[in-house]
Amino acid sequence: MCKKQVKIENFTLESGVILKNVQVTYHTYGTYNRLKNNVVWICHALTANSDPYEWWPKVCGKDGFFNEEEHFIICANILGSCYGTTGPLTEDEKGEYYYDEFPQITTRDMANLHERTRIKLEIDEVHILVGASLGGQQALEWAIINPTIFHHLILIATNANHSPYGIAFNESQRLSIEADPTYALKKKNGGRNGLIAARSIALLSYRSYEGYLISQHESNLDKTNSFKATQYQRYQGEKLANRFNAYSYVALSKAMDSHNVGRNRISIKAALNQISAKTLIIGITSDNLFPLNEQRFLRYHIKNSIFRSISSRFGHDGFLLEYELLIEQFDDFLKSNQCIENYRKVLEQKDILFTA
């Protein structure tokens, strides 16, 4: 494992604001082989860091589907986060922390920073680009910005533009944070209690009715207080507040709201049509935040793509928890494409025209 930082000078945001000397923290596993093109680039979700071995075990790991023996795995912490990349708790040019005055960022800004990082690291092509949720939104934008460098694209529980339902959930979380009087004090731990409440709200969109019914079921039917679900919401809120900060949470949730691949382009459909990578799109049956119709829309408008759904009780969080189901889909997708590529090479050697 290697954790490093790279500096990107004069990075221009979609808004026109220029950030100077942007620090990008990233993790890599394995050895980059330019000839084999063994790069697997993972775009992480809202509150994750740049170490997928930590938050996506079995999918990534020494014995994982993506592993350092076969692949060069790279994941860069996103702009606006609090895990090493420039964000609200970074000092500005005056030596003061941005806090809630950090410039507005978008998923397109995140994708553009990934592209600048790729160039800085002298990575020519990416064999597999993977992203789920906010990570999938970044991956979509990046595959549109520079379609020729990606061979395979895997999109999980994501969409082409963020829905009013998703935006409403995010705004409810921000209202909780802003209602915490410490948020306005501009200090590192500002808005902590608000962040705890925000995480509780978020969990309702990440999980499903059936999932709560099973995991938080009460065997004592006479209970009138201290329910499992109550304790669970508080525990998850505290857990996030211990590792994240409210200012980054607000900035990143607003970036998610901004997601629209058609913005300042001809249309959403035309933008999706720019993607040239072989694409696997995965939806989760119980996902209320990113429902299956959003992934089907991607399938209809991304050429050379396939759609698969996985059945899960975990709702949107299935992209983190359903390792075996995801790996099965990854394996089928990549093996089928490898068969096509091998067949193409045989036919080309025989001077036979082959069109997939």
SS3 per-residue string spanning the chain: CEEEEEEECCEECCCCCEECCEEEEEEEECCCCCCCCCEEEEECCCCCCCCHHHHCECCECCCCCECCCCCEEEEECCCCCCCCCCCCCCECCCCCECHHHCCCCCHHHHHHHHHHHHHHCCCCCEEEEEEECHHHHHHHHHHHHCHHHEEEEEEECCCCECCHHHHHHHHHHHHHHHHCHHHHHCCCCCCHHHHHHHHHHHHHHHCCHHHHHHHCCCCCCCCCCCCHHHHHHHHHHHHHHCCCCHHHHHHHHHHHHHCECCCCCCCHHHHHCCCCCEEEEEEECCCCCCCHHHHHHHHHHCCCEEEEEECCCCHHHHHHHCHHHHHHHHHHHHHHHHHHHHHHHHHHHCCCCCCC
Record: fold of 167-254: Rna Polymerase Sigma Factor; Chain: A (1.10.1740)
If pLDDT is split at 50, 70 and 90, which confidence band does 342 have? low
How do the domains of the chain map onto residue ranges? 2-163+262-349, 167-254
Give yes or no for residue 352 having a pLDDT over 50: no
If pLDDT is split at 50, 70 and 90, which confidence band does 167 have? very high
Give yes or no for residue 35 having a pLDDT over 90: no
pLDDT: which is higher, 255 or 62: 255
Span 177-196, average pLDDT: 96
Give yes or no for residue 345 having a pLDDT over 60: no
pTM exceeds 0.85: yes
Residues marked active site are found at 133, 287, 316
If pLDDT is split at 50, 70 and 90, which confidence band does 218 have? confident
Record: fold of 2-163+262-349: Rossmann fold (3.40.50)
